[in-house]
Amino acid sequence: MSSDPGDAPTPPPATAGEGAVSRQEFDALFAAVRTWGRWAAADRGAWNRVTPEHVRRAAALVRSGTLVPMARPWDTAPGPDNSKPALHYMSDLGDVEPPEPATHKDFIAVDYHGKAVSHLDALSHVAYRGQLYEGRAAQECIDAGGARFGAVSALGPLMTRGVLLDLPTVLGVPWLEPGRAVHAADIVAAEQALEVTIGEGDAVLLRSGALRRRQERGAWNTGAASAGLHVDAMPLLAERGIALLGGDGDSDVRPSPVDGLHSPVHALAVAAMGAPLLDNLDLEALSVACAETGRYEFLLLVAPLNIPGGTGSPVSPVAVL
């Protein structure tokens, strides 16, 4: 494992045809990783894997008590990776209510499913061939009032073991170039290099270094090109029994390797495996903290907003080392 990522060349970006997967192959993969019918509380999906014993073991990982937040700042500036900026304005500057004590209030709103806001995807967020997780028909479960199955309110908070797969650190590069696919073999190599093994009920976070690249090179259209997981990595994660998947992108490599399917990892994780996704995290501080401690496992806390019928929630996850 290189100690100076900046000295190494950046890996070349993947092309749209690299590791191409047909829809027939994808459908077979979808069936292979599917966990439908496994849990009574189906709309919690893979979060059912996290038992009180998992929580106790995760809490035992805490040593220094260092808190590492992973949410990106509330982004109100439009850009190539932020087509629907969040809203924030002051609604009371101390001049609306009786004078004493003065109160100051503000308003926030966001269309958070995108590339700029740190958020959680609940099981109602993704359907494949018209079906949500558990084979529920999306048109029967979701309407203008929200989701009646797989809503974020069914998930509640999560406390479990987190594992950081810090691919730039493993490869000795500052970041993965947009389009770089992370395959199953990359995950196994990262486990070996970082001396960590993904296990049942874990939350797996993939760092591509996207925010470092954005800071140094500027913003780009991450919907068209981003580093992320190739679909061939999903059987390994399914076999390990993960409860949650996330990263500093939206987990999918782009361009997609599956023709006609723009977010195949979303379909496999959410609709087949029942694993919620954490999108658009800031993993730079966590990368530094893990490197300093030499440990790439930690206690992870995720507490989505309690939104009945919601397809997800903005979140501010925290790693505790």
In a domain, residue 89? The reply is no
Asked whether residue 5 is assigned to any structural domain, the reply reads no
pLDDT above 50 for 14: no
DSSP class of residue 64? S
pLDDT band at residue 19 using 50, 70 and 90 as cut-offs:
confident
Q: State yes or no: pLDDT of 2 exceeds 70.
A: no
Three-point CA angle 99, 102, 107, nearest 5°: 120
The confidence score (pLDDT) of residue 99 equals 86
| Boundaries of domain holding 28 | 23-75+114-320
Task: For 95-114, give one letter per residue: b (16+ CB within 10 A) or e.
Answer: eeeeeeeeeeeeeeebebeb
Q: What's the burial of 168, exposed, middle or buried (CB within 10 Å: 0-12/13-18/19+)?
A: buried
Q: Are strands 119-121 and 67-69 parallel, antiparallel or unpaired?
A: unpaired
pLDDT score of 3 more than 50 = no
Residue 17 domain-assigned (yes or no): no
The encoded tokens of residue 134 equal: 């558990």
Return the closest-CA partner of residue 210 out of 156, 252, 242, 238.
252
**Mean pLDDT, residues 256-277 taken together:** 97
- Is pLDDT at 8 greater than 90 in this prediction? no
Looking at the domain assignment, is residue 291 inside a domain?
Answer: yes
Number of structural domains (the chain) is: 1
User: Would residue 205 count as lying in a domain?
Assistant: yes
Q: How many other CB atoms are there within 10 angstroms of residue 199's CB atom?
A: 14
Residue 7 has pLDDT above 80, yes or no: no
Q: What was the pLDDT predicted at 18?
A: 63
In a 3-state reduction of DSSP, which class is residue 21? strand
Within-domain flag for 100: no
DSSP characters over 87-151: EEEEEEES-SS-SSS--EEEEEE---SSSSS-EEE-TTS--BTTB-GGG-BHHHHEETTEESSS-
CA distance 253 to 282: 17
CATH of the domain at 249: 3.50.30.50
- pLDDT, tens digit, for every residue of 146-162? 999 999 999 999 999 99
Residue 84 maps to a domain: no
Q: 175-187 pLDDT, tens per residue? A: 999 999 999 999 9
Asked if residue 96 belongs to a domain, the reply is: no
**Percent of the chain whose predicted confidence (pLDDT) is above 70:** 94
Span 124-144, pLDDT tens digits: 999 999 999 999 999 999 999
Q: How far is 319 from 195, CA to CA, in rounded Å?
A: 18
Structure tokens, 33:
């990783």
The H-or-E segment that residue 312 falls in is strand 312-314
